[in-house]
Chain A
Amino acid sequence: MDLPFGKLSAKTVSVISKSLSGKRIAVTGSTGFLGTALVERLLRSVPDCELVLLVRPNRRNSAERRVQREIFRNDAFDTLRSQWDEDFDEICERRVSVISGDVTSEGLGLNQTEQQLFASCDVVIHSAAAVSFDSPLDSSIEINLLGPNRILDVLKHASATPHLISVSTCYVAGNRRGDANEEFLAGTPLQVDVDWRAEVEAARRTRADLDARSRIPEQLSTFRQGAREELGAAGVPMLAAKTEQLRKGWVNDQMVEAGRSRATSLGWPDVYTYSKALGETALVELHGDIPVSVVRPSIIESAWAEPSPGWIRGFRMAEPLIVSFAKGELNTFPGYPEGLLDVIPVDMVAAAIIAVAAKGPAEQPEVFQVASGSTNPLRFKKFLDTAMEWFREHPVYDANGHPTAGTEWKYAGSSGLEEQLQRVVKAFDIAAKIINRLPIRGENSFTSKFAERRRNLDQIKGYVEIYGAYGKCEALYGIERTLSLWNSLPPEDQREFGFDPSVIDWHHYITEVHLPTVVVQARVKTSPEKRTGPSRSERLRGAVLDSERQFAAFDLENTLIASNVVESYAWLATRHLGTRKRIEFTLRTLSETPGLWRRDKRDRTDFLRYFYQRYKGASVDQLEVDVAEMFSELILIKSFPAGLRRVRDHRAAGHKTVLITGALDVAVEPLRPLFDHIIAASIDRRNGKLTGEMLAVPPTGEVRAQLMVKWAEQNGLNPAQGVAYADSASDLPMLEAVGYPVAVNPETRLVTIAEKRGWLTENWPKTAGAPKPVLPMGQRPSLSNAHEGAH
């Protein structure tokens, strides 16, 4: 049997392999796009090196687990897996050590031993970064500016002097035209003279200031108002949680804004480049004895050849825009046709970094730029025309199987486009506010479509804002030093570690390499076939009715019937009045509706207490007789047959069913055969008459959730195996309390929430053709119906 990498080592006569052979290399940011490519490349092409990966554990996974899941299981490793076969895990384990740490913590969050291990490396490749262009100011600063410093600190502390290669970006050059060469910018006229320490201080202070500002009473009441607008009368705990979430969100948004404005005020397109640029400055200032190289790629895109042509991780720069265009959502590009799109395939960047590592450091920190613009420029027009041509041959299809390709690209300076989008977004927001206030529901999924369009728009607007800056960037990034490194390499190395961008045939790259991967990554439909197999809703419906579920809880109003407590009351109260009085009464009650509705929106419990006082003095016996008729004449006529069917489907599946409603217990009694248990509002009785006083807090908002969970627990049922059906955001506590929430005919707020969380949404209509009583009036019996059917 061959040694796992015997074949490789036999063939390799490269200086890179030789120089790095047996070396220990630390890598930060290995779970990222570039990081993964680096790790794979080092393991495959530098046979004898060892790797130490500094990985931040996240909420779900430890560092080790992240390495397994996010790095080794990535398709970048397909080649190595098949090459090493069953030895793959063993080799990885032997050559790769994982230490759990974080570049935002002092000492990188490492213990003494781990710090020792880290510092014992011969090369440290720092590629961890907050690459998002809209990170909050302080987190960009912590990662991008202070990250390299913390690495220096750990190394200095251990008196180690490995070669530190810090990955930066060409765009540290900022928004300018003309040549941008491989040099540090601090202290040159090309960069504003700012004190990076002061920037750090200011960023931290800004966070504290904004946090304080978010807590002043006016702000807090705005958040509370916002929470109420979003959730309606969802009960105190849920509103409080939402309010706090909005407050934190606000602070964060302000920090993002602070980042953006600070960066632009100093001439950088965004907070990423700003913090990266200052990071370089700090690194040069503080590196001391530690030899430092900086590698600046331009826009990193899918691989040219290694580990496989087109390999990409995540959704990169321009792709979202391209896909939006292909889907016909956008027809204007934020940039100029002759603008430069400085793209560099990821494998070239990885190779360049490895070459720099192999070459070793110079006395003074050196900059290597890896970019295509100066030697093999790609213009926007060329890129977009080629893309368009490709999409014409490979159209994207919508859900109905119709091709959706857009027309011609138009170009707009991104600011024009931004303004245009801004106007649309504003119109949408105004419409949304109105819709939220209207009593319309998820029928015809109008509200749902609206919410979806709004989200798309948000996304596109975000991309345009962010990428627009790059689209307008007209600097030319020189790569002399990188090229001279390339030219110094023997042919074997040039074959194995290609990073000369002039070899790229852009047409081939776009049509054969890049776009085919992009459409896969974006998960767009590339064939007109109707999707086979169950749809998402069908799957969710299947899950909801699965025999593993234990119970189903139903709200009543607008979930099972299109009626409400006011209508029922009007019906019952008018049943024994003369015609004229009945009409008068009904109109009077209906005229109060807007007021009642406001009261209801504010606090449902309060509304019910207020409203149910009207039942004071009603005879219980009479009410029971009347309710039996109301069942046929109001409730069933306004029922949603699909809803009633669903209740029975649950029973057929062996689930317990429970009705939870703020309606009066007497009034929902005819529905009892559908449910194992009914939780309803109850009015105290004295001498056969209702007192109008409620015995307990009516089941609304969070009380509903509590009563449901209590009932479930008393019956040995697990809420995680429960299903809940409701129509309004005020039912959120109940919906959230179960494992399988279902939004029924949801009001606009709930549509948004349900879609975000992937909940099943049902639109249950009334029966077409059902009689439509003009007014909810009881039909006057000429005789007491008490006797009918009694025999």
Chain B
Amino acid sequence: MTARRGLVLDVDRTTPPIVFHHGEGFRFEKLPVGSRVIYPNEPLEPLEDVDSAIRHALANPLGDSPPLDALLTPGMKLTIAFDDISLPLPQMQAPDIRGRIIEQVLDLAAASGVDDVHLIAALALHRRMTEAELRHAVGDRVYDAFAPNGQLYNFDAEDPEGLTHLGETDHGEEVVISKRAVESDLIVYVNINLVSMDGGHKSVATGLSGYAALRHHHNVHTMRHSKSFMDQEKSELHTKNWRQGRLIQEAGVKIFQIETTLNNDTFPSPWDFLQKREWEMTAKDRVMLIGTKKVLDKIPRRSARSIFQGIRAPFGLTSIQAGEVEAVHEVTTANVYKQHLVRVEGQTDILSMGLPYLGPYNVNSIMNPILVACLGLGYFFNFYKGKPLVREGGVVIMSHPTPWEFHPVHHPSYIDFFEEVLADSTNPETIEQKYEKRYAEDEWYRHLYRTSYAYHGVHPFYMWYWCSHALEHVGQVIVVGGDRRAVKRMGFRSATTMRDALEMATDVVGRDPTLTHIHNPPVLMADVV
């Protein structure tokens, strides 16, 4: 049976209340008649024999690349880099696809007599992964074989001894990546391409890089000229990464790129009702949904958080391709689009979204207000191709409790960013000019990033820049059910109910506005024509 495509539902009087994600919980919203709800495609059929698919991909590379085993020679330096804890979302059920690929790469390396192998979690300025997280990603066998000898570790973008400056692009963008990677005879990069911005040259150029290089595209100007950053043809972020990536190639750094795509089978039982369209829910689904909501509304947020963070997605592998970076990425992107793209006719006055408990930067952590903003205005808003779903000057309504809560270990600079920077200004350009450098070069944040499990000092700035396209484009942002102080701090407006939010929105978009709700996750990307 082939998976059903996504659809745009026109809400009429018989449409049941729509389930909105709302942090560690849900809301049921009866949307006005005439509203549209965009539903994702159903999960594509996964590949049946994953290990064979991997083997096939490694032996039959795309583009101008020999098979992997032909690249492996005795005595060579091999570095295997892999995506960090921010992918996929949620973490996938064991075994993680990265581990399965790495096992085969290591088998080939061993067969070719390669001893000097390093495995690096390519986390750029993200937090270090804990032992448990690394074990989950690469599997116990790989971990136990390499970690004790110091051959499996987290990338350190602030190690003064650990980086190599490869030069500048013709646009003046510095290219700085891991010294070990540069010195290796081959880098094998293992990707999980959950969304269309993942992978390609971004893997090495960003994943194994640091502030000096990233600041050239992780900035307000670039993000405002990436419409959207999920659409490679229109993404300045993509263009800059590609320039940096090509310079890395030209510098003689040899990369064997492995990219994988997953279907959007996100929620395991008993959460599978979240995969369903409301009118198709069974009586059991409804009981589960209402019961779960009741429980989640009662228990402390801390407990709800640990329940949700325990979810492991039953993602299925839909494709794997390996070889030369650009050739691989072209196929990957097509495969990602196959799962995510849903055709939508025309823009809307109001775009609503229910924000879930998880984004790329709060795995095993807390979704703080800045991450809420980033998930809604950075990611969900940018899940479009063509035109933004919401018209210029329109309104975005996000549903999320937005608590004034932070993880003290993972997000220390976020706390200060929220208390100090946002208290001063919410304008991305002002913030960039006035505060970025200080936070980026702060000794204490650097210490926490390197020795503890903290995101880099500059990371909250990037989150805010991620929102800058949306902030420029829309007329107002309303948060439903959020902590009023936290919402206000970010320059947004608070509404208790969806009804109030819609009422408030009419001040900006006039009476009788059009409303479109993006029913995400599972992830969908709107192809707006």
12 chain-A/chain-B pairs, Cβ below 8 angstroms: A628-B451, A641-B408, A641-B415, A644-B444, A645-B415, A674-B444, A766-B408, A767-B408, A770-B406, A770-B408, A783-B144, A789-B150
Chain A residues within an 8 Å CB radius of B405: 767-769
Q: Which of A90-98, A373-381, A434-442, A630-638 is the contact stretch?
A: A630-638
Chain B residues within an 8 Å CB radius of A527: none
Q: Is A787 an interface residue (CB 8 A)?
A: yes
- Given B150, B154, B180, B453, which contacts A632 in the complex, CB threshold below 8 Å? B453
- Which 9 A-B residue pairs are closest in the complex by CB-CB distance? A769-B405, A673-B447, A632-B452, A767-B408, A790-B150, A641-B415, A768-B405, A787-B150, A636-B409
Q: Which B residues between 111 and 168 are near A, CB-CB below 8 angstroms?
A: 118, 128, 131, 144, 147-151, 153-154, 156, 162
- Given A636, A766, A771, A788, which contacts B452 in the complex, CB threshold below 8 Å? A636
Q: Is B366 an interface residue (CB 8 A)?
A: yes
* CB-based contact A769/B443 at 8 Å: no
What number of A residues sit within 8 Å (CB to CB) of B? Answer: 32
A677→B151 CA distance, assembly (Å): 35
Chain A residues within an 8 Å CB radius of B301: 769
Q: Which partner residue on chain B sits nearest A782 by CB separation?
A: B131
Q: Is A168 an interface residue (CB 8 A)?
A: no
Q: Is B88 an interface residue (CB 8 A)?
A: no
* CB-based contact B302/A772 at 8 Å: yes
Q: Which A residues between 750 and 791 are near B, CB-CB below 8 angstroms?
A: 766-772, 781-785, 787-791
Chain A residues within an 8 Å CB radius of B408: 636-637, 639, 641, 766-767, 770
* CB-based contact A769/B148 at 8 Å: no
A648→B446 CA distance, assembly (Å): 13
- Given B153, B366, B444, which contacts A790 in the complex, CB threshold below 8 Å? B153
A648→B412 CA distance, assembly (Å): 13
Q: Which A residues between 309 and 345 are near B, CB-CB below 8 angstroms?
A: none
* CB-based contact A769/B403 at 8 Å: yes
Smallest CB–CB gap between B44 and chain A, Å?
37
Smallest CB–CB gap between B183 and chain A, Å?
12
Q: Is A670 an interface residue (CB 8 A)?
A: yes
A632→B453 CA distance, assembly (Å): 7
* CB-based contact A769/B302 at 8 Å: yes
* CB-based contact A788/B409 at 8 Å: no
Q: Is A43 an interface residue (CB 8 A)?
A: no
A674→B147 CA distance, assembly (Å): 30
- Given A637, A673, A785, which contacts B444 in the complex, CB threshold below 8 Å? A673
Q: Is A642 an interface residue (CB 8 A)?
A: yes
Smallest CB–CB gap between B53 and chain A, Å?
31
* CB-based contact B148/A631 at 8 Å: no
Given A641-B415, A670-B451, A673-B444 in contact, is the A787-B409 Cβ separation under 8 Å? no
Q: Mark B432-458, 1 if CB is under 8 A from A, else 0.
A: 000000000011100110011100000
- A636-B448, A636-B452, A767-B408 known, 7 other contacts, Cβ within 8 Å: A636-B409, A767-B407, A769-B301, A771-B302, A771-B407, A791-B150, A791-B180
Q: Which of A637, A766, A783, A791 has the most CB of B within 10 A?
A: A791
Smallest CB–CB gap between B118 and chain A, Å?
7
- Given A642, A670, A771, A784, which contacts B419 in the complex, CB threshold below 8 Å? A642
Chain B residues within an 8 Å CB radius of A631: 451-452
Chain B residues within an 8 Å CB radius of A636: 408-409, 412, 448, 452
Chain B residues within an 8 Å CB radius of A633: 409
Smallest CB–CB gap between A647 and chain B, Å?
8
Q: Which partner residue on chain B sits nearest A641 by CB separation?
A: B415
Chain B residues within an 8 Å CB radius of A674: 444
Q: Is B492 an interface residue (CB 8 A)?
A: no
Q: Is B107 an interface residue (CB 8 A)?
A: no
What number of B residues sit within 8 Å (CB to CB) of A? Answer: 38
Q: Which B residues between 392 and 407 are near A, CB-CB below 8 angstroms?
A: 403-407
Given A632-B409, A767-B408, A769-B366 in contact, is the A787-B149 Cβ separation under 8 Å? yes
A785→B132 CA distance, assembly (Å): 12
Smallest CB–CB gap between B145 and chain A, Å?
11
A555→B156 CA distance, assembly (Å): 32
Chain B residues within an 8 Å CB radius of A785: 131
Q: Mark A289-309, 1 if CB is under 8 A from B, else 0.
A: 000000000000000000000
Q: Which of A670, A766, A769, A783 has the most CB of B within 10 A?
A: A769
* CB-based contact A645/B416 at 8 Å: yes
Q: Which partner residue on chain B sits nearest A674 by CB separation?
A: B444
Q: Is B420 an interface residue (CB 8 A)?
A: yes
* CB-based contact A770/B407 at 8 Å: yes
* CB-based contact A645/B419 at 8 Å: yes
Chain A residues within an 8 Å CB radius of B150: 787-791
* CB-based contact B147/A768 at 8 Å: no
Q: Which partner residue on chain A sits nearest B144 by CB separation?
A: A783
Chain B residues within an 8 Å CB radius of A645: 415-416, 419-420
Chain A residues within an 8 Å CB radius of B128: 789
Q: Which A residues between 639 and 687 are near B, CB-CB below 8 angstroms?
A: 639, 641-642, 644-645, 648, 670, 673-674
Given A782-B131, A783-B144 in contact, is the A791-B118 Cβ separation under 8 Å? yes
Chain B residues within an 8 Å CB radius of A637: 408-409
- Given A673, A768, A784, A788, which contacts B406 in the complex, CB threshold below 8 Å? A768
Chain A residues within an 8 Å CB radius of B403: 768-769
Q: Which of A628, A641, A648, A770 has the most CB of B within 10 A?
A: A641
Q: Which partner residue on chain A sits nearest B408 by CB separation?
A: A767
* CB-based contact B153/A648 at 8 Å: no
Smallest CB–CB gap between B333 and chain A, Å?
33
Smallest CB–CB gap between A537 and chain B, Å?
16
* CB-based contact A767/B444 at 8 Å: no
* CB-based contact B442/A648 at 8 Å: yes
Q: Which of A648, A766, A771, A784 has the most CB of B within 10 A?
A: A771
A784→B149 CA distance, assembly (Å): 11
Chain A residues within an 8 Å CB radius of B407: 767, 769-771
* CB-based contact B131/A788 at 8 Å: yes
A790→B146 CA distance, assembly (Å): 12
Q: Which of B368, B403, B404, B447 has the most CB of A within 10 A?
A: B447
Q: Which partner residue on chain A sits nearest B129 by CB separation?
A: A788
A771→B447 CA distance, assembly (Å): 21
Q: Which partner residue on chain A sits nearest B134 by CB separation?
A: A788
A670→B453 CA distance, assembly (Å): 13
Q: Which B residues between 217 and 267 are near A, CB-CB below 8 angstroms?
A: none
Smallest CB–CB gap between B208 and chain A, Å?
13
Given A628-B451, A641-B412, A674-B444 in contact, is the A787-B148 Cβ separation under 8 Å? yes
Smallest CB–CB gap between A641 and chain B, Å?
4
Q: Which B residues between 259 and 285 are near A, CB-CB below 8 angstroms?
A: none
Smallest CB–CB gap between A89 and chain B, Å?
50
Given A648-B442, A766-B408, A782-B131 in contact, is the A787-B147 Cβ separation under 8 Å? yes
- Given B415, B420, B443, which contacts A767 in the complex, CB threshold below 8 Å? B415
Q: Mark B286-301, 1 if CB is under 8 A from A, else 0.
A: 0000000000000001
A641→B417 CA distance, assembly (Å): 11
A560→B447 CA distance, assembly (Å): 17
A641→B454 CA distance, assembly (Å): 13
Q: Which of B118, B153, B154, B452 has the most CB of A within 10 A?
A: B452
